[in-house]
Structure 1
Amino acid sequence: MGRYLFVVPPLTGHVNPAVGVTAALTARGHQVAWAGRPEIIRRLAGDGADVFPCAVPRRPPERDASIEAPAAYRLRWEEFLIPLAEAMAPGVRAAIGRFRPQVVVADRQAVAGGLVADGLGLPWVTSATTSAELVDPLAGMPKAAARLDELLDALRTRIDGGPADPRMSPHGVLAFTTRELLGPATLPHQVRLVGPAIGGRAPTCDFPWDRLDPAVPTVFVTLGTTDADAAGDFLRSAARGLSRIGGIQTVIADPGGAVGPVGDKVLVVPHVPRMALLAHVDAVVCHGGYDTVCESLWHGVPLVIAPIRDDQPIVAGQVVDAGAGVRLRSGRVAPDRIAAAVTRVLDDPGYRSAAEKVGASFRSAGGAAAAADHLEKLLG
């Protein structure tokens, strides 16, 4: 049996897909360990997860949503991902020395995993968590791309990493998406489109199911782990707008308690069992976090997306191009605009049909099981 080390950043959406893959590998008798932040990994993978701790820098302040996507991408690398890799590298090296993995699986935003494994001559695979990571925002911007290459070269020297590009392992790239969502982007030969790794995650919470009428269309509003200030403004706008639509019921996940009093048609709860709830939902309103998008499409649920940062604009564009949702402009979104977008996806069956098509492609791709198949091939 094999030994696999998963190197992940301190970001929930990047740990969740790995949880599904580690569960599949463990079920086949393999040994699995993690390198990252123990409190985040164990919250998602369970208290029994074998975690080697890695230091992380303080995350930089949130950027203004008006910054264009290519500039935001470059700043994210300069201000967060490069410092993160440098901070994590000693912990990754220690984890490899103690656990002795045969294969390292390095998230594309935890590039210390790929660089250290490559420097030690270990087989390693890139985990491309979102479909946005297969689209280069710096294409056509050679100076910006060259600057990022310089940053990675300098990082490689500081942490004694190997020569390979840590964003795209020559041993393979596990891409948790399918063509139906990704679109026609040209991909390197080593990329494997395995679909989202749904399942294998720790259980979440209870939910007042008796408050939902199964005969009434349900809209779910969630912003995942976005910052509280932006979440509060958007959630309050959604509550006001959706409460004005007749013939629907709304569930809002509001962990920060930002919404306040609402009418009987709007159920506000701090947390939800998301996968269970999505089986009963007719539309989802979100900022475009990849977990939320994939889980919604898995259930054939169309989306209304108001992206604000990082990969969200790219993911939102892919959803729109697939015909599975509507995109709202970022920033402060008026209640009436949210209501109009939700009415649009509920009234036009084409959105539901497109979402179901993407969801079917997710299930046929294999997800965690397909990813585990590829990883087993590296055992030799």
Structure 2
Amino acid sequence: MARVLVMITPAEGHVNPSLGLVKQLVDRGEEVDYVCSEEFGTRIQQTGAKLITYPFSVDAFIHNPVLKPAEYKHHYQFVNMIVKGLIEPIIPKVMKEIENKEYDYLIYDYLMGWGGKIIAERLGIPAVCTICSFAFVEPLGSDQGWDDDDIKVRELYDDTMKVVHQLAEEFQVSVPAIDELDSHSHILKVVYTSRYFQPQAEKLDDSYIFAGPSIVPRKDAPSFPFEQLRALYPQVVYISLGTILNRDLEFYKLCFEAFRDLPVQFVLSSGQYAEMELLADNIPDNFMIKPYIPQLEMLQRVDAFITHGGMNSASEALYYNVPMVLVPMTSDQPIVANRVQELGAGIAVNKNELTAAILKAALVEVLNQAIYKQQAHVIGQSLRQAGGYTYATDAIMSRFSTIRK
């Protein structure tokens, strides 16, 4: 048995993929401490791991200007978000919570970047990085138009490195170059997708373990009247913008306008904070709207999925062979959407040029052309065959077999 420290970014799309892996480690005898925010405490404890919490705002990814989703015009914007939004506020708290504790290895989320290296170096243990997006062959935001000589880029560099120097001094670790702050140089990287779905996979070596998505039934998922889905219409389409971007009333209004007259049952997951009452008089009869939808169960019953293109949502849809219309909004979502479209499993639309007519045409195309469903099945097969959290656990425990106690 080994003692394992798990440190994952406190966000739905990062915590959820880790749960199957953590439960497998616990079931195989590893002693796991999982450090995260209280918000995810219940589902973490259900894995059998010991929960260690630190304070972190529940709505940080919505209201914190550093963490709030944005379109990155330069790689330094992404790095600045990691350093100031996650490493600076979280790593000191983690270090305080695990003071005087000993571990055999660390598993950390890729968005923690250099923060994972700080923890591993201070504890003197090896580390595994888990990646719930694509593994970035090229830096995120590196081709978006801001020149390296732009004054905004220089200000970002100075702002980021000031914090890096302060943290390096506080924890007595070496100061990395700015391009190393989001790199993952540890001996093992577990990626929650397949080599087939991963763009430019040929450029990634064997230290990248492609395990596929971690599909774990959620015990806290709400109920839903699935028997009503096809009571009036032969086809069902699910709409969700994930857990961070789901307050976009203008997008929902666009959906109502685009799909009002289609003989299709639409199911919209709005989240608890979207002010849907403001749209009450505009909701079409062919829409079912709820704050929460049991997404895994829903995706097994629908004909298409309209999504923001978050990696978790896209992977779960493809796992169940569901073609998509993707409306990428921020971060890595354009990369995910472009890859889905490139492999023929959906259509990506530009949010800045989106109209009701464009959205309707994309959905009708996906619903009526069988090739999209067929290609979704091809990707889905690669995800299902990747091995999931069982394969990821095998890889980790095999690599650290020499420290079994």
TM-score normalised according to structure 1 size: 0.88
- Which piece of structure 1 moves more, 348-357 or 213-222? 213-222
Contact residue 103 and residue 123 of structure 2 kept, 8 A: no
Aligned equivalent of 1:33: 33
Query: Do the aligned partners of 2:22 and 2:47 also contact (CA within 8 Å) in 1?
Result: no
Q: Deviation per CA, 1:296-347, whole angstroms, max 9, x where unpaired?
A: 0000001111111111111111111121111110247322222111111111
Give SS of 2:219's match.
coil
Distance in 1 of aligned mates of 2:66 and 2:261: 32
Is this contact kept in 1: 2:26–2:48, CA < 8 A?
no
**Aligned in 2, Cα 1:319/1:162: closer, same or farther, shift over 3 Å?**
farther
Change (3 A) 1:45 1:130: farther
Identical aligned residues as a percent: 25
CA contact (8 A) 1:176 1:194 kept: yes
* C-alpha distance in 2 between matches for 1:227 and 1:354: 27
User: How far is the alpha carbon of 1:294 from its aligned partner?
Assistant: 0.7
In structure 1, C-alpha distance between the alignment counterparts of 2:241 and 2:359, rounded to whole Å: 14
Rounded to whole Å, the distance in 1 between the matches of 2:211 and 2:288 is 35
Distance 1:120 1:30, change over 3 A: closer
Distance 1:298 1:47, change over 3 A: closer
Provide closer, same or farther for how the CA distance between residues 349 and 220 of structure 1 changes in structure 2, counting only shifts above 3 A: same
Query: Deviation digits for residues 214-269 of structure 1, max 9, x if unmatched?
Result: 7711100001113454x2211221133122223x2111111224242423321111
User: CA 1:138–1:129 in 2, change beyond 3 Å: closer, same or farther?
Assistant: same
Alignment root-mean-square deviation, CA: 3.0
SS at match of 1:252: strand
Q: Secondary structure at the match of 1:365?
A: coil
Contact 1:234-1:333 at 8 Å conserved across structures: no
Please name the residue that 2:269 is paired with: 253
For the residue of structure 2 that corresponds to 1:244, the secondary structure is coil
Change (3 A) 1:279 1:79: closer
CA displacement at 1:30 relative to structure 2? 1.9
**1:61 corresponds to which letter in structure 2?**
P
Match of 2:304 among 261, 266, 283: 283
The within-5 A match list for 1:6-155 is: 6-43=6-43, 46=46, 49-56=49-56, 60-61=64-65, 69-71=72-74, 73-97=75-99, 99-111=101-113, 112-131=115-134, 133-137=136-140, 147=157, 150=161, 154=165, 155=167
1:352 lines up with 2:373 in the alignment: yes
State the alpha-carbon separation in 1 of the partners of residues 275 and 347 from structure 2. Answer: 27
1:327 equivalent to 2:381? Answer: no
Aligned to 2:228: 211
Verify the 8 A CA contact 2:72 2:141 in the aligned structure 1: no
Alignment partner of 1:263 out of 284, 291, 295? 284
Cα deviation digits, residues 342-368 of structure 1 (max 9, x gap): 111111111111111111111111111
Structure 1 residue 108 displacement after superposition: 0.9
CA contact (8 A) 1:285 1:305 kept: yes
Question: Gapped runs of 5+ residues in structure 2?
Answer: none
Q: Secondary structure at the match of 1:122?
A: coil
1:238 corresponds in structure 2 to 255
Aligned residue pairs: how many? Answer: 376
Residue 56 of structure 1 and its aligned partner are, at CA, apart by: 4.4
Letter in 2 for 1:29: G
State the SS of the aligned residue for 2:112: coil
Match of 2:172 in 1: 160
* CA shift for structure 1 position 272: 0.9
Relative to structure 1, the CA distance from residue 243 to residue 138 in structure 2 (aligned partners, 3 Å threshold; closer, same or farther) is closer
Is residue 373 of structure 1 aligned with residue 394 of structure 2?
Answer: yes
Structure 2 counterpart SS, 1:213? coil
1:22 Cα deviation from its structure 2 partner:
0.7
Structure 1 residues not aligned, in runs of 5+ = none
In 2, Cα distance between equivalents of 1:91 and 1:62: 18
Q: 2:322 matched to which residue of 1?
A: 301
Q: Which amino acid aligns with 1:173?
A: K
| Residues 296, 302 of structure 1: 8 Å contact kept | yes
CA contact (8 A) 2:82 2:111 kept: no
Of stretches 305-314 and 43-52 in structure 1, the one that deviates more from structure 2 is: 43-52
Distance across 2 between alignment mates of 1:47 and 1:27: 9
Does structure 1 conserve the Cα–Cα contact (< 8 Å) formed by 2:38 and 2:55?
no
Q: Residues 68 and 266 (structure 1 numbering): CA distance in 2 closer, same or farther, change over 3 Å?
A: closer
> SS in structure 2 opposite 1:276?
helix
1:121 Cα deviation after fit = 1.6
Helix, strand or coil for the counterpart of 2:357?
A: helix
Distance 1:322 1:32 in 2: 38
Q: 2:358 is aligned with what amino acid? A: R
Change (3 A) 1:199 1:68: closer
The structure-2 alpha-carbon separation of the partners of 1:118 and 1:163, relative to structure 1 and needing over 3 Å to count, comes to farther
- Tell me whether 324-333 or 366-375 shows the greater mean CA deviation: 324-333
